[in-house]
Every structure is written in C-alpha cells, then in structure tokens.
Amino acid sequence: MNLDNITIYLSTNCVDITPLNDLTDFNKNFVRDLYRDEPFPIFEHSIYHLLSYLIFDYKLFTASSVSWRGVVALKEDAVVFFTPLVLEEDSFLKFINKLSDFATNYKIKIQNVSAYWVHKHEKIIKSWKIENRSREEAVYDVKLLHDLPGKDFSKLRNTKNRLLRSNVLTFKTISENNKNHLKIILQKWQKTQGYKYSKDKTDKEIFMCTKFVKFLEGEPDSVIANIGYIKDAPVSYCLMHKALSDDNWWTIYSIKGLNQHKDGGTRGVSDATYINCIERANKKGALFLNDGELGIENGSREHKLRFKPCMFLKSFDIVIS
C-alpha cells in the first residue's frame, strides 16, 4: 500500500484533505483552531514546527470531517494524527478503528497531545497505549529572567555583563546573506556537544533553520531568528516564535551555542544567547517562554534549570497500532 491509498481512503470516508505546505493565513487559522481550548501552548503545537521539522520526514495534510479536524502526517510506514480537535468522540473512535483495519501495515499514532487533551478524551483512548513524549517542558517567566534578581541569578548577570553589555557577543538577524553560518554552527556543535545525544540530526536541523529564514521574511512580528558572533566568527543561533493560540507565550524553538575557544566561542555563549532571547521576547510583550523538553542529558537539564522554570508541561503520544 502506498500513500496515495491512504489519502484516497481518507477522502472516501468523508474527510476533506488538503496538502499543508505553506504558511498561509488559512493554514495558520486552521492550526490555531486545533488548540482553541488548550490552557497552555505545548512546544510542538505550532505551525512553524509542522512546516519546518515535521515536514522533513512527512507529507502533511489538513483534514476535516464532521467528527474531527487535524493535521495528518504521512510517510511510508506511518499515519500520524497531529493533535486532532475531536468534535464527536464516538464517530472519531469508529473512524480510527476502521482506518486501523484498513492500514494494517502502518503505524498509527495520535502525536503531541497535551495532558489536557489526554484527560478530556479518556473515554476514547483507554484501549490505546499512552507514551510520554515529554515529561518536563520547561517554561520560563520572561520578566523574572529579564530582571535577573538576587543571588540565584548572579552568574547569569555576570555572563550578561561580560558578553552582551560589553558587545563581545553581538547578534544579527538571519538572512540569505548569512544563513550558511547556521550550518557552520550546527556542524561544530555536533562534534563538540551533539555527539552525546542518541541521534545526529544535523541535516534535519539545517533544513529546519533554512525554513525559519523564510518564515522570518513573512512573519517578522511572530518569528525571531538570530545568529550570534564573536568578532566575525558565528558562535550561536536562536530561533523563536510566538504561540498562535496565545500572544503572551513564545517558544524557543532551536538554540545552539559554542562555548569552547577552539570553536571560535567562549565560556558562557549559550547562557548569553538565552539571555538575548529573553530580552527580545520581553520587547515583544511575552510573559512566558517555552523552552521544550528538559531532556535526559545532564548538561542540557542543568543548563535549563539554571533559568529557574516557573512551570513544567507534559506531552504524550497515543499509539494505536
């Protein structure tokens, strides 16, 4: 069975599907509507995530029926429903069960759902497997980190003074002229820090970063994309976006820093890049900043905890077959 069979099956079962490839007003409104009742924007509830990271591996479609709406992501061995808005639970359950019987060679999942979604739909997911996707998404208080008060933040204040206020580390907006510097940073980061992680995602992250350059051109009020330099050497970058569903929330989507002299960097570059992100988010009026999963790697966890998260969010995958 190929992907065309799946799209034909969806179309013949009263589902309207349309390719999701571009950052159009229709697509933004469609994705925003999926999260209209969610109390908090979790990290991956974002059209920027869909059109930069997820689209690297999947073909994406908006899908609508009388019982549900959502984004469907397809690849050779998987059908993924990306946080569907369920309008009629019994009909949605019947649809999923029929699809499972039809697409027997595919893994079928409902992906990136919040704790709120899981609780709301306990009735229909009780026979499926619930997997933790993220046990701890770190959320920061923007005003607190803009002010950096007290002894708990003394090291961060010192880093801010040493690298940012002294203009040792400066930032430029990512553009067609300097986007090749992203690849330099990512490749160096992979050799010095990224090797600790289970997968080398350099190619995927380069693709994602390139997409964000395009987003920035059309969404200057909702996207921030910067490269940090020491003299002329690119040493860090940060990609951020505003949450579609809540203007008070922004997300640090991807951030990397080179903290070693041999890479052209220096001690504290990562911290200083975070502080730069926080200051820019503060200027945009953000109250909260989601930094995604704390992760299992000790260095990453300790680094994020240094910024004293004010909240932790959870997300899950629902495995159907």
Do 176 and 101 lie in a common domain? Answer: no
Contact (Cβ atoms closer than 8 angstroms) between residue 194 and residue 243? no
Confidence band (pLDDT; 50, 70, 90) for 224? very high
For residue 121, being part of any structural domain is answered with: yes
Residues in a beta bridge with 237: 227, 256
Residue 199 pLDDT > 80, yes or no?
no
Domain presence at residue 14: yes
pLDDT of residue 217: 87
* Lowest-confidence region among 93-107, 162-176, 217-231: 93-107
H or E stretch covering 16: strand 16-19
- Residue 116: the pLDDT is 96
Are 32 and 112 in the same domain?
yes
pLDDT band at 198 (very low <50, low <70, confident <90, very high): low
Whole-angstrom Cα distance, residue 319 to residue 106?
11
Among residues 135, 160, 185, which one ends one of the domains? 135
100 and 175 fall within a common domain: no
Co-location of 80 and 198 in the same domain: no
Any domain includes 176: yes
Region 47-68 average pLDDT: 94
Question: Which of the four pLDDT bands, split at 50, 70 and 90, describes residue 52?
Answer: very high
Report the C-alpha gap between 241 and 221 in whole angstroms. Answer: 9
- Encoding tokens for residue 204? 């995927």
Last residue of a domain, one of 78, 106, 135: 135
Domain end call among 106, 135, 164: 135
Rounded Cα distance, 17 and 70, in Å: 10
Answer whether residue 319 is part of any domain: no
Provide the domain limits for residue 231: 137-313
| HSE-CB of 286 using CA atoms within 13 angstroms | 32
| 147 and 98 within one domain | no
Rounded average pLDDT over 299-310 = 89
Question: Does residue 146 contact residue 278 with C-beta atoms inside 8 Å?
Answer: yes
What token pair was written down for 212? Answer: 């964000």
pLDDT at 194: 59
Q: Percent of the chain scored above 70 by pLDDT?
A: 96
Say if residue 190 is in the same domain as residue 115.
no
In terms of domains, do 308 and 292 share one?
A: yes
Residue given tokens 């908090």 in the structure block: 40
Secondary structure class of 265 (helix, strand, coil): coil
Same domain, 210 and 231: yes
Q: Is residue 102 part of a domain?
A: yes
pLDDT band at 299 (very low <50, low <70, confident <90, very high): confident
Q: Is the pLDDT of residue 297 over 80?
A: no
Average pLDDT along the chain: 91
CATH of the domain at 34: 3.40.630.30
pLDDT, tens digit, 9 for 90 and up, residues 230-285 = 999 999 999 999 999 899 999 999 999 999 888 788 999 999 999 999 999 999 99
What does the alpha-carbon distance between residue 295 and residue 26 come to, in Å, rounded to a whole number? 34
Residues 143 and 193 in one domain: yes
The tokens for 59 are 């073909």
Paired residues of 18 in beta bridges: 62
Yes or no: say if 95 and 67 are a contact pair by the CB < 8 Å rule. yes
User: What is the spatial distance between Cα 263 and Cα 171, in angstroms, rounded to a whole number?
Assistant: 17
- Residue 39 resides in a domain: yes
Residue 81, in any domain of the structure:
yes
What are 191's two structure tokens?
């050799």
Same domain? For 117 and 144 the reply is: no
User: Would residue 321 count as lying in a domain?
Assistant: no
Cα–Cα nearest to 321, from 110, 5, 25: 110
Confidence of residue 105 (pLDDT cuts 50, 70, 90): confident
Handedness of CA 74, 80, 86, 92 (dihedral sign): positive
Which run of H or of E encompasses 147? Answer: helix 142-147
How many structural domains does the chain have? 2
Considering the domain architecture, whether residues 95 and 202 belong to the same structural domain is answered as no
Statement to judge: residues 130 and 162 lie in one domain: no
